[in-house]
Amino acid sequence: MNIPSRRGFLGGVIALGGAATLPLRADAESVAKSGTPAPADLAGADTVRVNTQVNGVACAETVGADESTLSLVRERLGLTGAKLGCGQGACGACTVLVDKAPACACLLPAVALEGREVTTIEGFGEALHPVQRAFMAHDAMQCGFCTPGFVMEGAAFMDRWRAAHGATEPSDAELAEALAGHVCRCGAQVGIRAAIRDACAGRFDGPEKEAPRYDARAKVTGAAKYTVDVMLPGMLVGKFLRASTPHAEVVSIDVSAAEALPGVKAVKTFVMAGAPIRYEGQALAAVAAIDEATARAALAAIKLELHQRAPVISAETALAADATIIFPGGEGAASASEAPVMKAPWAGNLRGPTETNLLAKPKRAAKALAAARAGEGQLIEARYTAHNQAHSCMEPHAALARWDGDTKLEVWLSTQSVDDMADALCERYGLERANVRVRADHVGGGFGSKAGVDQEMTTAVDLAKLAGAPVKITFERWEELIVGGNRPEASVNIALAADADGNFGGLDAEAYNLNGAAVGGSTGLVLRLLYRSKNKDVRDYDVLTTTAPGKPFRGPGGPAGLYALEQAVDEIALKRAEDPITLRKRWDPNPGRQRLYELAQASPLWRDRDAQRGEGRVRRGVGVAAAAWPYFLSKGTRVELIGRADGVFVARCACQDMGQGSRSALSWTLAEALGVPRSQIEVQFGDSDAPRGPASAGSRTTPSIVPAAEDAAKQLTEELVELAEDLFGVKGAVMAHGGVDHDAGRLTWAEILARSGERRALGRRRRDDDGYYFATDEFGWGKAWPGAVVVVALEVDTATGRVRATDGWMGLAAGRIMAPPVARSQGLGGFIQGLSYALYEERRLDPKTGLQLTTNLEDYRIIGVGDTPNLEVAFDETPLDGVRGGGAGLAELATIGVAGAVGNAFAHATGVRLRSIPLRPDRVLEALRQ
């Protein structure tokens, strides 16, 4: 861990972006050139003077034994393009070049830089490296947090490649190997691979082109600022003391020694004697101190006495007759859901069933199943199990709070909702809305884990108040993996029947959601979304365990629920010896998916699937799955559009872009609505001072902001048409592309605005024509049903148990697509995340202590570039009826169906149905052996 000195933090306050502003010391250059090592002797010292060059400028710093190169460039020099991702050399977010070779700056001691040259992403300058231009053109990014690291590695690789091979294309395997040290959580691997390949081949040696993504340039240059990058004068480091045991009772907690440590400015406790500890990582106390080392020392000085209790980590132990009850009386459990938690009975650690049978026809389902059990039609009864997945955003949860007196509060937060968080802070601290500002210029991924009021925010605010100074809390990777958020493990017992005619007969499903210390699992509910009007009896149960509370994760319940349902449907099709797509076409009334089924069935991938299975060691299989997700929106969304006198249109909304491309959705649609190039659109997000914006949760950002922005554009252009007549005295002015046509010619918006001066309009997210299933003032559940169909091809090495996805196709029918290249990236990202979930990721716990074993990005496996297959995303852009703006969001739809398709592809390849994921080699071999 980087242990910057207090001086280090102060030094980082001024962002030293350009070479000219780097500190240049007289002695540095001569020492570096002469090769004389910095003074140090065998007696040892606490610090060493290091002379190095950073981005071409000499730099002399006194560093400790453990200070990292990353700390030096970020904290001391303010070069924040390189990020701390995992702290272990596994993710590559910190990559810099040392003597032109890539290195993990988080592990490289600054001491080692003596006489060497460091290049950070900022050192590439404004001209841009071809790899940067290629990343922009290929949209090889989403949240952008990992992008500088990928670019550094890619640039170093390209330079070496060109020197050895000229302007030729490296193979996928060579690219995979070159990028092996990098993790992209959003799933931009396809674009990244293509970008570096094309840069190597010389296709980006020419001038920079406009990127489809609004903030691509900021991301490839490292200029994009995330919460972790914000540094304020006098800022303190906040840290949590977290439970290192999953289940206990606090006997005593004594923070006096921590408070007495020099440099400790505030201490806060969350538990007192008698309080329960219900999961590893539960926050017990927090400190604010002048630097990281002091904060750690303070945590170590807290005296804690616990009465240990038995961990409860599996459904078996949780439901055993003698199980320790984690929430006696069912009081106090958090919610793993973003929807309101429905009432349900408790029985020990079991909560449920949650009724989800409104209009589901459970009696008819039971009748159909009884008929099938009596031999009519086909029946499948099975249990499907999906594991626990960590959100593991590349930017960890982070909050920086600054008070101005007792009434004004400013918070920088890695959040999915600046607006909701500002509301929450007002309520919690009794502040005026005008005096609270929440900011998130860039957000390094969220996936649902940053949508709520979380402890890092409230604690940073509390500590800042206590300390009288700004406090920043940044999760370490182990914290992110343990308590940063997870998708609950789930088991689904399914009975599914087809009637004698091969129609959908009935479904009975019982889902057990292992949400950890939380309730509100919704895996079963998801089974209502597909084959929507059919006969079903669906029940959800929560099984409480002593693990970190689950959080909403990109389609909560979706991947596990559809993994179960879509495999069961596949099994019925197999029993009927029927093409699984043909069966779905009969069962699934959704018009969007009907069109996608046609496309999928016609694709060579599907058509040739039986011919390519193979009988040897490596088997190849192709599987399909369907996906459905509701369409949500934030009704209260407002977008302000400002036509500036210089002809630039500025859109303002208290929205945020965590990588999904919400800024781009506005820049594309506004450019179209106004008839101006995208370069004339400026999108200002990430600030709660702007007009009401949506939370980026429930796939509702785009269908909320785009109609509001188009409404603003309509108002503003109507005003400009009138102004054209008033100010220029023209007659017959009518709106035209980029301005107005009038009897005597044409005026551009810029010409009108130059004369009129700045003009503003506030757009509203107007009501959908068909109304809503459910709505509040802010929230709406619209009456459209976007759909997806996923096809996955994979190979199974029956000798090693390795499963490798080779190809994939995803059709998305979500209506109008606002910014196609960026939407494609989101589709690919969902696809890749789904593959990662089905094939590699898995939280693992020690069965005895209940402690989490996957606490770093080496043990917690996220899909790499080398595991990412060829993928294709197709959009069916038939507008969704009744949806204002014509399109719904894609985020969740694009990921929830993938695991089911993987499961079906595995069964197709091997003839063996594996009803649990991930498809680990040990599990695969075991299944094949039987």
Partner 1 sequence: MITLPKDALSAASLTGSFRAGGTDLQARRARGLHHGDVIELRDVPGLNTISPGPTGGLKVGALTRIATFAHHADVRKGYPGLAAAAAGLATPAIREVATVGGNLTQEVRCAYYRNPNLVCLKKGGDACLARGGDHFLHSCFDQGACAAPHPSTLALGMLAWDAQVELADGALLDAAGLYGDGTNPRTTHRLTQGQLIVGFNLPAPAANERSAWRRVSHRNNAEWPIVEAIVRVVFDAAGQITLARVALGGVGNTPLRAVAAEEALVGGPLTEARLMAAGEASVKTASPLPMTRWKLPVVVTCVQDTLRDLLTLETP
Contact call for residue 54 and partner 1 (CB under 8 A): no
Segment 321-360, which members bind partner 1 (CB under 8 A)?
none
> Shortest Cβ distance from residue 172 to partner 1 (Å)?
10
Answer whether 320's CB lies under 8 Å from 892's CB. Answer: no
Q: Is the dihedral of CA 446, 452, 453, 454 positive or negative?
A: negative
Kindly state the helix (H) or strand (E) to which residue 649 belongs, with its residue range. strand 649-652
> Shortest Cβ distance from residue 563 to partner 1 (Å)?
19
- Residues 849, 870, 878, 916: which binds partner 1 (CB under 8 A)? 849
- Residues 180, 273, 370, 500: which binds partner 1 (CB under 8 A)? 180
- Pick the stretch among 584-592, 599-607, 618-626, 917-925 that binds partner 1 (CB under 8 A): 917-925
Segment 449-478, which members bind partner 1 (CB under 8 A)?
478
> Shortest Cβ distance from residue 293 to partner 1 (Å)?
12
Contact call for residue 864 and partner 1 (CB under 8 A): yes
CA-to-CA distance for 706 and 710, rounded, in angstroms? 6
Contact call for residue 844 and partner 1 (CB under 8 A): yes
Smaller CB distance to partner 1: residue 371 or 851? 851
Segment 813-842, which members bind partner 1 (CB under 8 A)?
840
> Shortest Cβ distance from residue 384 to partner 1 (Å)?
21
- Pick the stretch among 103-111, 435-443, 724-732, 745-753 that binds partner 1 (CB under 8 A): 103-111
Tell me how many degrees the CA angle 217-225-287 measures, rounded to the nearest 5. Answer: 160
Contact call for residue 316 and partner 1 (CB under 8 A): no
- Pick the stretch among 210-218, 570-578, 843-851, 886-894 that binds partner 1 (CB under 8 A): 843-851
Here's the x/- map for partner 1, 276-315, by CB under 8 A: it reads as ----x-----------------------------------
Smaller CB distance to partner 1: residue 292 or 542? 292
- Residues 117, 177, 725, 877: which binds partner 1 (CB under 8 A)? 177
Here's the x/- map for partner 1, 31-50, by CB under 8 A: it reads as ------xx-xxxxxxxxx--
- Residues 13, 14, 24, 107: which binds partner 1 (CB under 8 A)? 107
Taking CA atoms, 120 is separated from 77, 133, 424, in Å, by 11, 17, 38
Q: Which residues, 6 or more positions from 760, have their beta carbon under 8 angstroms from its beta carbon?
A: 640, 641, 642, 643, 716
How many beta carbons lie within 10 A of that of residue 928, not counting itself? 16
- Pick the stretch among 366-374, 675-683, 763-771, 858-866 that binds partner 1 (CB under 8 A): 858-866
- Residues 802, 874, 878, 912: which binds partner 1 (CB under 8 A)? 802
Contact call for residue 101 and partner 1 (CB under 8 A): yes
DSSP letters of 669-736? HHHHHHTS-GGGEEEE-SBTTSS----S-TT-HHHHHHHHHHHHHHHHHHHHHHHHHHHH--SS-EEE
Contact call for residue 114 and partner 1 (CB under 8 A): yes
Here's the x/- map for partner 1, 203-242, by CB under 8 A: it reads as ----------------------------------------
- Residues 14, 21, 33, 66: which binds partner 1 (CB under 8 A)? 66
Maximum CA pair distance of the chain?
Answer: 91
Smaller CB distance to partner 1: residue 174 or 381? 174
- Pick the stretch among 170-178, 333-341, 761-769, 902-910 that binds partner 1 (CB under 8 A): 170-178
* SS3 sequence of 358-388: CCCCHHHHHHHHHHHHCCCCEEEEEEEEECC
Burial class (CB in 10 A: 0-12, 13-18, 19+), 501: exposed
**What are the residue ranges of helices labelled H in 745-819?**
749-756
- Residues 31, 54, 57, 90: which binds partner 1 (CB under 8 A)? 90
Answer whether 754's CB lies under 8 Å from 777's CB. Answer: no
- Residues 301, 306, 562, 863: which binds partner 1 (CB under 8 A)? 863
- Residues 51, 53, 55, 68: which binds partner 1 (CB under 8 A)? 68
Q: Which residues, 6 or more positions from 16, have their beta carbon under 8 angstroms from its beta carbon?
A: 22, 23, 77, 78, 79
- Pick the stretch among 363-371, 409-417, 707-715, 801-809 that binds partner 1 (CB under 8 A): 801-809
Contact call for residue 4 and partner 1 (CB under 8 A): no
> Shortest Cβ distance from residue 1 to partner 1 (Å)?
4
- Residues 24, 65, 251, 500: which binds partner 1 (CB under 8 A)? 65
Answer whether 894's CB lies under 8 Å from 830's CB. Answer: yes
Q: Is the peptide bond before 918 cis (omega within 30 degrees of 0)?
A: yes
Contact call for residue 920 and partner 1 (CB under 8 A): yes
* Amino acid symbol at 782: G
Contact call for residue 854 and partner 1 (CB under 8 A): yes
CA-to-CA distance for 562 and 693, rounded, in angstroms? 31
- Residues 15, 176, 275, 735: which binds partner 1 (CB under 8 A)? 176
Segment 576-605, which members bind partner 1 (CB under 8 A)?
none
Contact call for residue 856 and partner 1 (CB under 8 A): yes
Residue 683: name the closest of 818, 816, 824, 884 by CA.
Answer: 818
SS3 of residue 497 by DSSP: strand
Contact call for residue 769 and partner 1 (CB under 8 A): no
> Shortest Cβ distance from residue 321 to partner 1 (Å)?
24
Q: Are strands 504-516 and 276-277 parallel, antiparallel or unpaired?
A: unpaired
DSSP assigned state of 250: E
CA-to-CA distance for 811 and 827, rounded, in angstroms? 9
Answer whether 420's CB lies under 8 Å from 409's CB. Answer: no
Residue with tokens 């997210």: 765
429 φ, ψ (degrees, to nearest 5): -110, 5
CA-to-CA distance for 380 and 569, rounded, in angstroms? 9
Residue with tokens 């060497």: 116
Smaller CB distance to partner 1: residue 3 or 288? 3
CA-to-CA distance for 132 and 283, rounded, in angstroms? 41
Smaller CB distance to partner 1: residue 90 or 344? 90
Contact call for residue 108 and partner 1 (CB under 8 A): yes
> Shortest Cβ distance from residue 180 to partner 1 (Å)?
4
CA-to-CA distance for 709 and 707, rounded, in angstroms? 5
Lookup: tokens for 526 = 């998801």
Segment 133-162, which members bind partner 1 (CB under 8 A)?
153, 157
Smaller CB distance to partner 1: residue 108 or 333? 108
> Shortest Cβ distance from residue 248 to partner 1 (Å)?
13
> Shortest Cβ distance from residue 727 to partner 1 (Å)?
59
Smaller CB distance to partner 1: residue 280 or 540? 280
Smaller CB distance to partner 1: residue 482 or 530? 482
- Range list of β-strands (E), 366-488: 378-386, 389-390, 398-404, 408-413, 436-439, 471-474, 486-487
Contact call for residue 244 and partner 1 (CB under 8 A): yes
Smaller CB distance to partner 1: residue 327 or 840? 840
- Residues 23, 502, 821, 866: which binds partner 1 (CB under 8 A)? 866
Smaller CB distance to partner 1: residue 404 or 926? 926
Answer whether 665's CB lies under 8 Å from 819's CB. Answer: yes
